[in-house]
Amino acid sequence: DTGVSQNPRHKITKRGQNVTFRCDPISEHNRLYWYRQTLGQGPEFLTYFQNEAQLEKSRLLSDRFSAERPKGSFSTLEIQRTEQGDSAMYLCASSYGQGADGYTFGSGTRLTVV
């Protein structure tokens, strides 16, 4: 098991373009979370899946953001019509159930919108 994998690690895009990130969780983990982290801040919760069902979305997740987890395995986070304020580190985490000690983060995708 190689932990939580996120791709790409870095993405530079022009304002107005769409971007998609991928997260591959630890294989036996049924829960998958997306967080956003801006400079000087802690990660902030965006959304989470239990298996393939998206069960919670933060108010930070505007209608330009959409996340999917087909078949309850990998997940994608898409941002449409990117804005400069979307520049951040997007972190994915997975866990089995609610247990915090198995709550593992990926290395993140750094998005820069120019």
Partner 1 sequence: GQQLNQSPQSMFIQEGEDVSMNCTSSSIFNTWLWYKQEPGEGPVLLIALYKAGELTSNGRLTAQFGITRKDSFLNISASIPSDVGIYFCAGQLWDYGGSQGNLIFGKGTKLSVKP
Binding residues for partner 1 (CB under 8 A): 4, 6, 31, 33, 35, 40-45, 48, 55-56, 58-60, 91, 93, 95, 98, 100-101, 103-108, 110
Helix (H) / strand (E) containing 67? strand 65-68
Q: Looking up tokens 């069902």, which residue turns up?
A: 53
Between 63 and 101, name the residue whose CB sits nearer to partner 1: 101
Query: Three-class SS of residue 38?
Result: coil
Between 54 and 66, name the residue whose CB sits nearer to partner 1: 54
The contacts of residue 31 (CB under 8 Å, 6+ apart) are 48, 49, 50, 94, 95, 96, 97, 98
Q: What is the smallest separation between the CB atom of 55 and partner 1, expressed in angstroms?
A: 6
Between 12 and 60, name the residue whose CB sits nearer to partner 1: 60
Count Cβ atoms below 10 Å from residue 100 Cβ, excluding itself. 7
Q: What is the smallest separation between the CB atom of 16 and partner 1, expressed in angstroms?
A: 25
